[in-house]
Homo-oligomer: A and B are copies of this chain.
Amino acid sequence: MNLDSETKAVELPEDHGDELRLWLRLLTCTTLIEGTVRSRLRERFDVTLPRFDLMAQLDRAPEGMTLSDVSKRMMVSNGNVTGLVERLVESGHLDRRTSVSDRRVQVIRLTKVGRAEFRRMAAEHETWIADIFSDLTPKDVRELMRLLAKAKGSAQKAASRRAL
């Protein structure tokens, strides 16, 4: 039995430098792309990224979504969604109504105008993303998808461990 190795595990700090560098690189990539997308959305359509993201969620839900659904999907706070929705209703992109079966619940949908405008933006948005990743081969893309899925699973597990 090797006492040293046991002692080591407890007393010596492990080397987590690689993971830290991975996190920083992930963050840099995302920040870079997010910034590009944000400024293009503003220049071309005078819309903010959070508004675009919210409309994207609703575009996939023709029946509408509750504010809680949106909050979970976008991984932002409830209060945040309340404000975002308020502004998008104000600008005529969203329709909001109280659920008949539960009067606490607000159901929101894209208006006709909102949907048309989103589709127009989304088409162009997709080409920006393709441009941003244009140096990656299809294999790179697949491999990144796979590894990020694994990373996501790992992060979710860690988050739920913490939540206890």
Contacts and interface: CB of A to CB of B under 8 A. Distances in A.
A119 interface: no
Contacts of A145: 18, 21-22, 25
A23 B32 contact: no
Interface stretch (A3-11, A110-118, A155-163): A155-163
How big is chain A's contact interface, by range?
35 or more
A138 interface: yes
A23 to B, nearest CB: 5
Contact of A157 (B19, B135, B144, B161): B135
A150 B16 CA distance: 23
A133 B23 contact: yes
B134 A154 contact: yes
A99 interface: no
A45 to B, nearest CB: 15
Contacts of A159: 32, 35-36, 132
A157 B29 CA distance: 12
Interface of A: 13-14, 16-23, 25-36, 40, 75, 123, 126-136, 138, 140-145, 147-159, 161-162
The 3 closest A-B CB pairs, nearest first, are A135-B154, A16-B130, A30-B30
12 contacts: A13-B123, A16-B129, A18-B142, A19-B133, A19-B141, A22-B133, A25-B145, A26-B29, A36-B155, A128-B158, A133-B155, A143-B147
